[in-house]
A = this chain, B = another copy of it.
């Protein structure tokens, strides 16, 4: 933390770029895309707003380069197929859920842009569709994998809507009930 600042405004390009990316990542997750101004990012790093644009080309490209949606569901694919539905839901709710919801919200709210929508598709493709399709049998495997992805997005969005009726439900109940719905697509 102390290696970022300390020797005045005459720093190196590489570390400035990394500092911008670091600050942007946090601010985007916390305040969303529209809620985060280039000026705010620059202020957090202690540089001029124009530098941010100079390093990353535009606010949108900065967002696309720094946004990370950690979905630690890789390990959920190991295990018996008959309980895969529950394991997927369980994985979606574990780890840093608040940050995941915030990032998901930031992505959705910025999905005006074609590039952002492509990014969302890409994340779903890599984390859900490909691994799932490999495990599912039947001619509808690809479709079923995509629909499981839709279920997961729906769950994250519902939780991100701050609906107390849903966010206050015990995790185990959520896993059991929604897991059955996911399992219906796993089984085909």
Tell me the A129-188 residues at the B interface (CB within 8 Å): 140, 142-144, 146-147, 149-155, 157-158, 161-163, 165-166, 169, 173-174, 177-178, 180-185, 188
A150-B154, A154-B155, A157-B108 known; A144 vs B177 contact (CB < 8 Å): yes
B-chain residues with CB within 8 Å of residue A109 when the two chains form the complex:
108-112
B-chain residues with CB within 8 Å of residue A154 when the two chains form the complex:
150-155, 157
| A121 at interface by CB-CB < 8 Å | yes
Closest to A111 in B: B109
| A64 at interface by CB-CB < 8 Å | no
B-chain residues with CB within 8 Å of residue A27 when the two chains form the complex:
none
A117-B161, A158-B153 known; A177 vs B147 contact (CB < 8 Å): yes
Tell me the A10-44 residues at the B interface (CB within 8 Å): 32, 34-35
User: How far, in angstroms, from A138 to B111 measured CA to CA in the complex?
Assistant: 38
B-chain residues with CB within 8 Å of residue A155 when the two chains form the complex:
147, 150, 154
Q: List 20 A-B contacts (CB under 8 A).
A: A32-B112, A108-B109, A109-B111, A109-B112, A120-B161, A121-B163, A143-B166, A143-B173, A144-B177, A146-B163, A146-B165, A147-B158, A147-B181, A150-B155, A153-B154, A153-B158, A177-B185, A180-B185, A181-B185, A184-B184
Q: A residues engaging B (CB < 8 A)?
A: 32, 34-35, 105, 108-112, 117, 120-121, 140, 142-144, 146-147, 149-155, 157-158, 161-163, 165-166, 169, 173-174, 177-178, 180-185, 188
